[in-house]
Amino acid sequence: MRLVSHLSRAIRKLGISNAQFADQAGVARSTVQKIIAQDFKELRVDTIERLAARLNTSDIGELFSLQDDSEEFLEPFRASRSVTFLFGIHDVADVSGGNAAAHRQSQILRTTVDMWDFRAQALLLNHIRRHVPDVRDRMEFFSRRSFGTPERARLLELIDRENVVIIGSPKSNPACETVLRELYPGCRKDPGNLEKGPPLRLADTDRLKDSVIGLADRKQLGIVDVQSGRLIAASEYRGPEQISLDAGLLLAVFRPRLTKDKVLLTIAAGISGCGTYGVIRGLLDHPPRKEELVSGKPWIRAFQTHYAKSSDSSRDDREVLQVTPVDASPKTGREGAAGLLPPSKRT
């Protein structure tokens, strides 16, 4: 069992920022952030009392609850004491003057990784280290610009022998699409086949066109339940100082290609990097149970991420407020909107 914080949800109900809450409660901002991020080993009684006083509650359940630590999810990491994170890298080209297309092809200034991808990796790695202190971690990077046969072979070798975490959707990480086609072999030649692919898909305009996990030509961004055609988790920026939405999919597969090594493959694919981070937080708060980790069979879940952005500038100053799991059962209201897929596309 482990102690899980619900402070983020409680603060959101107040309609103030995490920093404002910390100041009003008389608790260090860093302490509040650690509690929200589930990054704490012990808490002082007076800290809990101050949090509860600011929330005007005497119910400790408003702040914390005990949840199963999911020994099954962590067991592969304990067994091998290792984890490998795979990132997608983005090329940044010099497009000043001349032919812009030519610059993109030949004058790459640098490569970058989304900061939210690194945040997601740090969140999961810190959690693993609390339970497997001597875990060895590695990072590998794949570029869409130079992903070919050698990279594919290397990738398949990794998922056969190591605990692998793929950070990012196919639009940013080529490793993701390659592995998805291994998990759903019926989609290798026909990625858009809704019957042979995953039951939940990312709707992200044309950036996920021809992806096993994508639905293109959509007016709304988010996660779609293939069977009903409903948008079950939206991705929508609502402006500064408003609560906006992002979404992502989590896939976890034990022994993904049924090899003898008892390894776990994890894929965190968000509409944006913020949604990818939300997927990892959702994984830690709602890990798979033993009976859900079936060899070779993907366990897939959708998560809705609520975030706030303090300004309307191009700077990514988003702050994650809450992450909630979303199921595909019928709902009412915004998430229950039906008819989003053309009739010919429904199963």
**Are residue 214 and residue 306 in the same domain, yes or no?**
yes
Burial 311-324 (b: 16+ CB within 10 A, else e): eeeeeeebbbbbbe
Lateral strand order in the sheet of 200-203? 214-215, 200-203, 222-225, 230-234
**Are residue 58 and residue 174 in the same domain, yes or no?**
no
For residue 288, give the DSSP letter: P
**Are residue 84 and residue 49 in the same domain, yes or no?**
no
**Are residue 286 and residue 152 in the same domain, yes or no?**
yes
Tell which of 19, 41, 67 closes a domain: 67
| Number of domains making up the chain | 2
DSSP line for 198-219: -SEEEE-TTTTTT-TTEE-S-S
- What's 63's domain CATH number? 1.10.260.40
**Are residue 291 and residue 154 in the same domain, yes or no?**
yes
In sequence order, which ranges of 184-324 are alpha helices (DSSP H)? 273-285
Report which of 265, 169, 153, 266 is spatially closest to residue 208, judged by C-alpha positions.
Answer: 169
Contact 330, 223 (CB under 8 A): no
**Are residue 60 and residue 75 in the same domain, yes or no?**
no
- pLDDT tens, residue order, the chain (347 aa): 667 788 887 898 898 999 999 999 999 999 998 898 778 888 999 999 999 999 999 988 888 877 655 557 888 998 898 999 999 987 655 445 555 555 445 555 456 888 999 999 999 999 888 778 788 999 999 988 888 999 999 999 999 999 999 999 998 899 999 999 999 998 888 877 788 889 999 998 777 888 999 887 677 899 999 988 899 999 999 988 789 999 999 999 999 999 889 999 999 999 999 999 999 999 998 898 878 899 999 999 999 999 998 877 778 888 999 999 998 765 433 333 333 333 333 33
Tell which of 44, 67, 90 closes a domain: 67
**Are residue 61 and residue 161 in the same domain, yes or no?**
no
Tell which of 22, 50, 67 closes a domain: 67
**Are residue 207 and residue 276 in the same domain, yes or no?**
yes
**Are residue 180 and residue 314 in the same domain, yes or no?**
yes
Its domain, for residue 128, covers: 71-345
**Are residue 37 and residue 149 in the same domain, yes or no?**
no
